[in-house]
Structure 1
Amino acid sequence: MMMTSFIALVESTGAFIAASRYASATMIPPSIISRGIGWQGIGVLLDSFFGTASGTSVLAENIGLLALTRVGSRRVVQISAGFMIFFSVLGKFGALFASIPLPIFAGMYCIFFAYVGAVGLSYLQFCNLNSFRTLFILGFSFFMGLSVPQYFNEFTAVAGHGPVHTGARWFNDMINVPFSSKPFVGGLVAYVLDNTIMTKDGAVRKDRGYHWWDKSRSFKKDARSEEFYSLPFNLNKFFPSV
């Protein structure tokens, strides 16, 4: 359960960043991400009270829908939430949407997740792709992200259990489950290498694209942040952005 919550938070963090890009907003400040995760925690708490099954994680397909429609208005999301509440109360309307054939959903998901994957790769433009350091980290992370989970999955399929097989099941799951995930392994390897590999000329900061993100590290450094990330209904008075 803890691992599931952690994955949901990581997914939501990536979804926040992707949404800011597809909505043509400025790079989302860390404080806004923290605020979003905090509100999501409150939502998860309410979910436990009402017994909902879906939770409140920001699903990746919603980001794909944002990219497909190119509608980044907060008002549209509020109206959509109203429709969802309305359809959930009246079962006949919910049954109408549930009758949509699965191949149509499959085709939509192919488009949505294509946009989600593309927005992640698009952030590489801020790195120095002419640097051998950047190319090594990128290639090695992709290779390990594909090969290590493949090993874990094939080992589990043959042996009936993961490579880590001790008497403590919680420890086995804590190691086997994350390392069976391609995004987790690739992201972990990239994070470690990006923070440990240095160059002789000291151009690491520029190669990593830090000079593009400096103005977005604080909410008040960019005057447009107020326009994009202020809360509606004057909630900023009670939950100010920093």
Structure 2
Amino acid sequence: MASRKALQLGAALLIIFSFFGKIGALLASIPVALAASVLCFTWALIVALGLSTLRYTEAASSRNMIIVGFTLFISLSVPAYFQQYEPSSNLILPGYLLPYAAASSGPVRTASDGLNYAVNALLSINVVVALVVALILDNTVPGSKQERGVYIWSDPTSLETDPTCLDPYRLPKKISCWFRWAKCVGI
């Protein structure tokens, strides 16, 4: 489903529902297994959308295969290492938050307690580790524009020949008329 109107309606309903405590209590009563299944589906969708951006790259390139594979491996193993520490907090937390509470006693130890907590917390989250590793590798490992997939954005005419590139990112027509002065919005 890619309808922008459905997303706008859903967002408006969630904002309206946030003013009613009974609806919040109803949402809080959703079983953890159901919430976890929705979360799994959402994460799978995010990963699929992220990997779909690789369609402009040379997927068979050894550079790209190594970057994707290494990023996936590190983003699964480093947080698992950080999450094995026992939390030094006296807070009563639900079971699904316990791995992230381990950040209070993780392996990074400097003179600053705040820095320790921030670094340990960030390195215990898979998405953060994947982002950092992929960003570093993609920008440091040499590769051609075709391998990196940036050729599609380096030629302004190629964006107009492939209408699927920018359509999801454009503002709705009723809103974009108010932003004609901004070149990046486009109409």
- Asked if TM exceeds 0.5, the reply is yes
Residue 3 (structure 2) aligned to one of 54, 72, 96: 72
CA shift at 1:207, angstroms? Answer: 0.6
The reply on whether 1:240 has 2:182 as its aligned counterpart is: yes
Code of the residue aligned with 2:149 in structure 1: it is G
The reply on whether 1:174 has 2:118 as its aligned counterpart is: yes
CA shift at 1:208, angstroms? Answer: 0.7
Identity of aligned residues (%): 27
CA shift at 1:169, angstroms? Answer: 0.6
Instruction: For structure 2, list consecutive stretches of 5 or more residues without a partner in the other structure.
Output: 89-103
Partner of residue 98, structure 1: 27
Secondary structure of the 1:180 match is: coil
CA shift at 1:101, angstroms? Answer: 4.2
The reply on whether 1:157 has 2:86 as its aligned counterpart is: yes
Decide whether aligned partners of structure 1 residues 96 and 185 sit closer, same or farther in structure 2, where only a CA change above 3 A counts.
closer
Whether contact under 8 Å (1:215, 1:222) holds in the other structure is no
The reply on whether 1:192 has 2:128 as its aligned counterpart is: no
Secondary structure of the 1:122 match is: helix
Whether contact under 8 Å (1:144, 1:185) holds in the other structure is yes
* CA–CA distance in structure 1, aligned partners of residues 68 and 58 of structure 2: 11
Decide whether aligned partners of structure 1 residues 236 and 171 sit closer, same or farther in structure 2, where only a CA change above 3 A counts.
same
Secondary structure of the 1:157 match is: coil
Partner of residue 151, structure 2: 211
Residue 39 (structure 2) aligned to one of 109, 126, 130: 109
Whether contact under 8 Å (2:18, 2:24) holds in the other structure is no
Question: Which structure 2 residues correspond to residues 34-53 of structure 1 after superposition, within 5 A?
Answer: none
CA shift at 1:230, angstroms? Answer: 3.3
User: What per-residue deviation string (whole Å, max 9, x for no partner) do you get for residues 121-166 of structure 1?
Assistant: 2222222122111122122222222222222222x23997111123
CA shift at 1:71, angstroms? Answer: 3.9
CA shift at 1:191, angstroms? Answer: 1.4
* CA–CA distance in structure 1, aligned partners of residues 136 and 19 of structure 2: 48
Partner of residue 140, structure 1: 70
Secondary structure of the 2:182 match is: coil
CA shift at 1:213, angstroms? Answer: 3.0
* CA–CA distance in structure 1, aligned partners of residues 73 and 167 of structure 2: 40
Partner of residue 171, structure 2: 230
User: What per-residue deviation string (whole Å, max 9, x for no partner) do you get for residues 30-49 of structure 1?
Assistant: xxxxxxxxxxxxxxxxxxxx
Whose helix proportion is higher, 1 or 2?
1
User: What per-residue deviation string (whole Å, max 9, x for no partner) do you get for residues 42-84 of structure 1?
Assistant: xxxxxxxxxxxxxxxxxxxxxxxxxxxx1423x3344334434
* CA–CA distance in structure 2, aligned partners of residues 91 and 135 of structure 1: 49
Secondary structure of the 1:113 match is: helix
User: What per-residue deviation string (whole Å, max 9, x for no partner) do you get for residues 84-124 of structure 1?
Assistant: 454445556x2695387425444433333322221112222
Decide whether aligned partners of structure 1 residues 145 and 98 sit closer, same or farther in structure 2, where only a CA change above 3 A counts.
closer
Secondary structure of the 1:130 match is: coil
Secondary structure of the 1:164 match is: coil
Instruction: For structure 1, list consecutive stretches of 5 or more residues without a partner in the other structure.
Output: 1-69
Partner of residue 92, structure 2: none
Decide whether aligned partners of structure 1 residues 151 and 184 sit closer, same or farther in structure 2, where only a CA change above 3 A counts.
same
RMSD after superposition: 3.5
